[in-house]
Amino acid sequence: MTNDPSRRIVFTGAAGGIGTMTRPLLAKLYPGLVLSDRVKPKDLLPSETFVAADLTKPDEVAALVKGAHSVLHLGGHSVEGTWDHILNANIIGCYNLFEAARAADVKRVIFASSNHAIGFYPRKKKIGTDVTVRPDSRYGVSKAFGEALGALYSDKHGIAVTCLRIGNVGPMPLDVRRLSIWISPEDLVQLFQIGLENPDVRFEIFYGASDNEAGWWDNSRAQRLGYRPTGKSEKFRAHAEAEQAKIGPDPVGDLFQGGAFASAEFTNDVKRAGP
C-alpha cells in the first residue's frame, strides 16, 4: 500500500501528542495521508492535507471517512477525565468512527487503545494480549470499549482491525514505569504499518512497546506479523531513574502497570485489587 495515492488513509487525532510525533514519519510512507482533528495542527505543512472533524458529530465523521481505504484512529481524550468527557470523546466518538467506517466500506482501522485497558495487572506479572481487560480508570474502560467495538466490526462486517495497547510514546522513557512500557515513534509507526498493510490482519491486539528489557508484555503476535522494534528503553535507564527520584513513591500506583492512573481515586485495599 505504501505510496499508493489511490488508497486514502485518514488519521484522526493528528494534532495530538502522538500525532505530532508520528506525522513526519508517516508523511514519508503515505504521502496522501489525510490528517484530521477538531483543530488544525499549528505546524501543518503546505504539503499536508487537513480535514477538520468533531468525533462526536456523526455527519462530520461520515464526511471525513467517505472514500477512505483505512483509518488510523488516534482521536479522542488521551488521559483520565470526567465521565461526561470520556463518554463523548472516547465512547460516542469511537462508535461514530467505526459506524462511519462500516458505512463507507473502509477496509482497515487501527485503533489507539492504551496500556490503561489492562492497568490493574500487577507489575510483577507478564501478560499477553489474550488476558481479560483490567482497566485502571474511566479512560481505560473507554479503551477496552474501543477494543470490543473493533472486534465487533471485524467479526460482523469484515473490517481488518488492529488495536494497539500503547504504552508511552516519546524520544525516551520518562520514569521507571515507562522503562517497561516505552515505545519510540519509529516503532509505533512500524505497528501502524502492520495494521495498514499486513494481509493476515483480521482482528489483532498488539502492545505498543519497544524492545524493552524491563517489559511486562508478551508481544509475540506482533512479532509474528513482522514487528521488529529497534528502540531499547534500557539505554535510558539512568535518565528514567533520575526522573523517578524527583517523583517519589506512590504506594498504590507503584504496584500496578497503570501507575498513577490506578492510584487516582483509589479507595480499595491493595490486596483486593488487580488479579
Question: H helices then E strands: how many in the chain?
Answer: 10, 9
CB closer to ligand 15L, 119 vs 195 = 119
The size of the interface with ligand 15L (CB under 6 A), counted in residues, is 7
Query: How far, in Å, CA of 229 to CA of 46, rounded?
Result: 31
Query: What is the smallest separation between the CB atom of 126 and ligand 15L, expressed in angstroms?
Result: 17
Looking at the Cβ atoms of 78 and 198, the one nearer to ligand 15L is 78
Q: Map the footprint of ligand 15L across residues 44-103, applying CB under 6 A.
A: 78-79
CB of 168 to ligand 15L, least distance (A): 3
Nearer CB in complex with ligand 15L: 138/178:
178
Taking the complex as a whole, the smallest distance from the CB of residue 137 to ligand 15L amounts, in Å, to 9
Considering the complex, state which of residue 70 and residue 115 has its C-beta at the smaller distance from ligand 15L: 115
Contacts (Cβ under 8 Å, ≥6 apart) of 122: 255, 256, 257, 274, 275
Cβ proximity to ligand 15L, 106 vs 255, nearer residue: 255
> How does strand 70-73 pair with strand 9-12?
parallel
All three cell numbers of 63, joined, read 464526511
Q: Which of 12, 36, 96, 115 binds ligand 15L (CB under 6 A)?
A: 115
Count of other CB atoms within 10 angstroms of residue 75: 29
Least distance CB 40 / ligand 15L (angstroms)? 21
Q: 85 in helix, strand or coil? A: helix
Q: Which three cell numbers stand for residue 79?
A: 488521559
Describe the strand order of the beta sheet including 108-114 as a list of residue ranges: 49-52, 34-37, 9-12, 70-73, 108-114, 160-166, 203-208
**Shortest Cβ 4–ligand 15L spacing (Å):** 30
Residues with Cβ within 8 Å of 65's Cβ and at least 6 positions away in sequence, in order, are 10, 71, 97, 100, 101, 104, 106
Contacting range for ligand 15L; rule: CB under 6 A; set: 36-44, 110-118, 128-136, 237-245:
110-118
Task: Report if residue 114 touches ligand 15L, rule: CB under 6 A.
Answer: yes
Closest CB 51 distance from ligand 15L, rounded Å: 23
List, by residue number, the catalytic residues: 139
Q: Which residue has the cell 502492520?
A: 194
Nearest to 257 by CA among 78, 131, 134, 76: 134
In the complex with ligand 15L, which residue's Cβ is closer, 19 or 229?
Answer: 19
Q: CB atoms < 10 A from the CB of 47, how many?
A: 7
- Could you say which DSSP state residue 255 is in? G
Which residues sit at the interface with ligand 15L, rule CB under 6 A?
78-79, 114-116, 168, 178
